[in-house]
Structure 1
Amino acid sequence: MKSIHLLATLLVLAILPTSCDSSGSGGQAGDENKIVVGATMLSMQNEFVVNVHDEMEKKAEELGVELIVNDAQRSALKQVEQVESFIAQKVDVIVLNPCEVEASSPAVQKALAANIPIVNVNSATSTTPTAFVGSDDTEAGRMAMRFIAEKLGGKGNVIMIHGYMGQAAQIQREKGAKEVLKEYPGLKLIAEQTGEWDRAKSMSLMENWIQSHGKGINAVFAHNDEMGMGALKALEDAGLKNKVIVVSIDAIADALQAVKSGRLDATVFQNAHQQGATAIETAVKIVKKEPYEKQVLIPFELVTKQNVAQYIK
């Protein structure tokens, strides 16, 4: 009798439909009529990336799309493996938030080879995807460094805190900043190193530079707000902030409040809402074979104490 009950239970389990875990573990699509989007994000420990992800989820829900999200945890190798998994699951389209320009490129190559369209969001790869949605990070670097140059009257010692080395935003923001530095011979880049987009690491870097350069530091350009806030804290703890200009990028909530209070001199607004929403819209258009833009560039905007109120929610 027990064996009959067991057989019946197994039969029921066998015919139950499988469902898709939209929070990130993956799985087969639960509804065959739904468009299924597989997304792999650089790091869900990064506030800006989380903001992009949240907008992707909102747009996916609005459009009735099934979204599977995986966290690459800053590993390009893991990201490639996640794309291979999406290919095996036969998702309709992939959204890639690349960890690195070169090391994440095989993910694009594999998707295209499997005839699955792939949309890069926020960051680039050397291999051209089906579409790209993001912003011109070179311009963000120029914007931040030009603000510093004007505040210092074209003369002074600058420190630059890089993002994760090899990632498109790091490469392009450095390029833009150094283009402006060439225009101002009186500006000297006295130190530069990666803070890996991390607040605590950047605070530690800044503490070391304060020991090395002390009052010789006139300005800090951090490639994102997390690192800018870390540098700001180190300068405040050392009693030097009033003498040092600090500028960063992304306009996350903490940074906006710091600009409002006068602690952070400026941030550069990067539109997470438009990037996330447009990435999903573009992915859906591709699957439906509707016209779409192969490159969508969303402008950066400089945020200072004068205009910060319009950016605070």
Structure 2
Amino acid sequence: MNRFPLLIATLSFTLLLAGCNQSATTDASQGDGSKKLVMGVSMLSMQNEFIVNVNDEMTKKAQEAGVELITVDAERSALKQVEQIESFIAQKVDAIIMNPCEVEASSPAVAKALAANIPIINVNSETSAKPSAFVGSDDVESARIAMKFIADKLGGKGNVVMMHGYMGQAAQLKREQGAREVLKQYPNLKLLAHQTGEWDRAKAMALMENWIQSFGPQINAVFAQNDEMGLGAVKALTDAGLKDKVVVVSIDAIPDALQAVKKGTLDATIFQNAEQQGAKAIDTAIKAAKGQPYEKQTLIPFQLVTKANLSTFLK
């Protein structure tokens, strides 16, 4: 029996099947036949709960829209972030979303993306170089709200310590600006000390312990530029038996902070809407990638959270 024709037929069928499968992989990515959008995302730090919340919402919205995200962690390094953007440019992604590490040092990434004609959207934090669009909140406003709350609680007089975020990042610079604007309005409200806790709970706890040793009962209030640091300060003050005498306010309204407000250990937090920032960043990037009109700046308001309105924010 001559098996050669049978072998040819089998081989032809196998190749045909392989061709069909390859076609399905490359062309069926979008049901309407259009090319599937691919976007590069570089996040400041996936060790930061708020940043993770923004990223989770972006991932969810991208999946709903049929967009592929290539997400990387810059690990707080602007140098690494610029290299990540260069990699996205080499991969010819349709758009880039960047959560900048630093105002100045992350700016070359914006310039490189724009030079390659790839839209770049800054989410949550800013660069001095102007991107295609910015989606976030006005960090100056958040600090004004926090420091005004402290001023009201202290009757306009007392000693405040301020915990900075990662130095040189937009949120750190703008939250310091907002806090100092309010301090100028209250001459009897004194900034006793200020130092970075690098957005980190453990580092903030150690910093607060140092301040307690240095100033003790002189400290009347703590303004922490994010909740992680605020919770670190609360732990140090509680351990020292001073929490009942010190007002602590922080920013972001992450779940741990909301629970601390509920318990009364954190006096207030400022709600920053991670879900809206993430969702609107994806919406803007999709429009920019498709050449559709989009908002060049989307600002989402901050809101003060205390025990009085806590139920609105608890999920």
Q: What TM-score, normalized by structure 2, do the two folds share? A: 0.90
Equivalent of 1:80 in 60, 79, 82: 82
Instruction: Give the AA of the match of 1:104.
Output: S
Task: Determine the C-alpha separation between the residues in 2 that align with 1:139 and 1:281.
Answer: 24
CA RMSD of aligned residues (A): 1.9
Residue of structure 2 in register with 1:21 after alignment: none
Task: Determine the C-alpha separation between the residues in 2 that align with 1:289 and 1:109.
Answer: 19
Equivalent of 1:70 in 72, 78, 93: 72
Task: Determine the C-alpha separation between the residues in 2 that align with 1:91 and 1:232.
Answer: 44
Residue of structure 2 in register with 1:159 after alignment: 161
Residue of structure 1 in register with 2:121 after alignment: 119
Instruction: Give the AA of the match of 2:302.
Output: F
Equivalent of 1:102 in 96, 101, 104: 104
Instruction: Give the AA of the match of 1:140.
Output: S
* Superposed CA offset, 1:118-163 (max 9, x none): 0000000000000000000000010000000000000000000000
Residue of structure 2 in register with 1:245 after alignment: 247
Once the 2 structures are TM-superposed, how far is the Cα of residue 67 of structure 1 from its aligned partner? Answer: 0.6
Contact 1:29 1:36 in 2 (8 A): no
Residue of structure 2 in register with 1:231 after alignment: 233
Equivalent of 1:188 in 190, 202, 206: 190
Residue of structure 2 in register with 1:283 after alignment: 285
Task: Determine the C-alpha separation between the residues in 1 that align with 2:183 and 2:311.
Answer: 30
Task: Determine the C-alpha separation between the residues in 2 that align with 1:29 and 1:171.
Answer: 46
Once the 2 structures are TM-superposed, how far is the Cα of residue 176 of structure 1 from its aligned partner? Answer: 0.2
Residue of structure 2 in register with 1:272 after alignment: 274
Residue of structure 2 in register with 1:306 after alignment: 308
Instruction: Give the AA of the match of 1:174.
Output: E
Once the 2 structures are TM-superposed, how far is the Cα of residue 287 of structure 1 from its aligned partner? Answer: 1.2
Task: For residue 211 of structure 1, give the secondary structure of its aligned residue in structure 2.
Answer: helix
Larger Rg: 2
Residue of structure 1 in register with 2:36 after alignment: 34
Once the 2 structures are TM-superposed, how far is the Cα of residue 271 of structure 1 from its aligned partner? Answer: 0.2
Task: For residue 279 of structure 2, give the secondary structure of its aligned residue in structure 1.
Answer: helix
Contact 1:221 1:248 in 2 (8 A): yes
Contact 1:260 1:309 in 2 (8 A): no
Residue of structure 1 in register with 2:94 after alignment: 92
Task: Determine the C-alpha separation between the residues in 2 that align with 1:118 and 1:29.
Answer: 26
Task: For residue 110 of structure 2, give the secondary structure of its aligned residue in structure 1.
Answer: helix
Task: Determine the C-alpha separation between the residues in 2 that align with 1:281 and 1:146.
Answer: 34
Residue of structure 1 in register with 2:135 after alignment: 133
Instruction: Give the AA of the match of 2:253.
Output: A
- Counting matched residue pairs gives 293
Task: Determine the C-alpha separation between the residues in 1 that align with 2:182 and 2:243.
Answer: 23
State how 1:5-44 maps to structure 2 within 5 Å: 31=29, 33-44=35-46
Task: For residue 91 of structure 1, give the secondary structure of its aligned residue in structure 2.
Answer: coil
Q: Which runs of 5+ in 1 are unaligned?
A: 1-11, 18-27
Once the 2 structures are TM-superposed, how far is the Cα of residue 291 of structure 1 from its aligned partner? Answer: 1.5
* Superposed CA offset, 1:15-51 (max 9, x none): 997xxxxxxxxxx999582001100000000000000
Task: Determine the C-alpha separation between the residues in 1 that align with 2:28 and 2:235.
Answer: 47
Contact 2:158 2:188 in 1 (8 A): yes
Once the 2 structures are TM-superposed, how far is the Cα of residue 87 of structure 1 from its aligned partner? Answer: 0.2
Task: Determine the C-alpha separation between the residues in 2 that align with 1:110 and 1:287.
Answer: 16
Task: Determine the C-alpha separation between the residues in 2 that align with 1:287 and 1:68.
Answer: 15
Residue of structure 2 in register with 1:57 after alignment: 59
Residue of structure 1 in register with 2:145 after alignment: 143
- Report the CA distance shift for 1:63/1:151 in structure 2 as closer, same or farther (over 3 A): same
Once the 2 structures are TM-superposed, how far is the Cα of residue 234 of structure 1 from its aligned partner? Answer: 0.1
Instruction: Give the AA of the match of 1:187.
Output: L
* Superposed CA offset, 1:245-291 (max 9, x none): 00000000000000011110000000000000000000001111221
Runs of 4+ aligned residues of structure 1 deviating over 6 Å after TM superposition are none
Equivalent of 2:47 in 45, 52, 61: 45
Task: For residue 41 of structure 2, give the secondary structure of its aligned residue in structure 1.
Answer: strand
Task: Determine the C-alpha separation between the residues in 1 that align with 2:27 and 2:213.
Answer: 55
